[in-house]
């Protein structure tokens, strides 16, 4: 990801309102069926869809490396997918682009939040001959924590989520510069 794209992504995530979300819970995800677009995507309707991916309900616990995250700290959960983009300004024969949908959340007093289950349908906006064998595909979850002077993130990949969903792993852990994350499937 280029520096410009990362700065745009950071500004976009900071502009997602978490107001109205109770501590320990999450808001809703933009619904493409109601005309709400995915971020990082053209404004036109998608032309292709990938296979749906069931993200299980997750109980998330954040532990700061120093100090404490105050109750009500805003956490943004993003569902990332990639799709083949053509024409592409930097690549003659197209390139993979990333789009995502985000869900605003707030931590409770214990540094935890429940993220409800969600079905991600990866979508794409190019359906020409160069797309052959290149369907949109869910990539994973991204957790962003924005505090007064910093913004850090951690990722859980599709493969790790599959292992958690299948019961091959009971707890997923991810690290960022400022905090560690533990995710468990709801009810386990």
Q: Write out pLDDT tens, residues 29-86.
A: 865 544 445 666 677 777 888 899 999 999 998 888 777 777 778 889 999 988 877 7
Q: What are the pLDDT digits (tens) for 138-151?
A: 999 998 887 777 77
List, in order, residues 6 or more apart from 73 with CB less than 8 Å away.
62, 106, 107, 145, 147
Question: 115 forms bridges with which residues in the sheet?
Answer: 58
Q: What is the pTM of this model?
A: 0.79
Q: 60, 115 in Cβ contact below 8 A?
A: yes
Residues 40 and 97: beta-carbon distance below 8 Å: yes
Backbone angles phi, psi at 73, to 5 degrees: -60, 135
- Non-local CB neighbours of 47 within 8 Å, separated by 6+ positions: 124, 125, 126, 127
């Amino acid at each position: 990801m280029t520096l410009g794209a990362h700065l745009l992504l950071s500004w976009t995530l900071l502009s997602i309102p978490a107001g109205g979300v109770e501590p320990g819970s999450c808001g809703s995800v933009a619904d493409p069926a109601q005309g709400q677009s995915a971020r990082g995507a053209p404004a036109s309707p998608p032309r292709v869809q990938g296979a749906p991916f069931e993200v299980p309900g997750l109980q998330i616990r954040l532990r700061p490396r120093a100090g404490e995250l105050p109750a009500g700290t805003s956490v943004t959960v993003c569902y990332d997918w990639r799709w083949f983009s053509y024409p592409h300004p930097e690549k003659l024969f197209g390139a993979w682009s990333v789009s995502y949908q985000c869900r605003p959340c707030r931590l409770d007093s214990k540094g935890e939040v429940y993220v409800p289950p969600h079905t991600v349908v990866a979508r794409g906006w190019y359906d020409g001959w160069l797309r052959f064998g290149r369907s949109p595909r869910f990539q994973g979850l991204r957790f962003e924590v924005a505090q007064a002077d910093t913004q850090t993130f951690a990722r859980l990949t599709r493969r790790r989520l599959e292992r958690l969903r299948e019961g091959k792993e009971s707890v997923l852990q991810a690290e960022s510069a400022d905090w560690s994350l533990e995710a468990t499937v709801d009810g386990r």
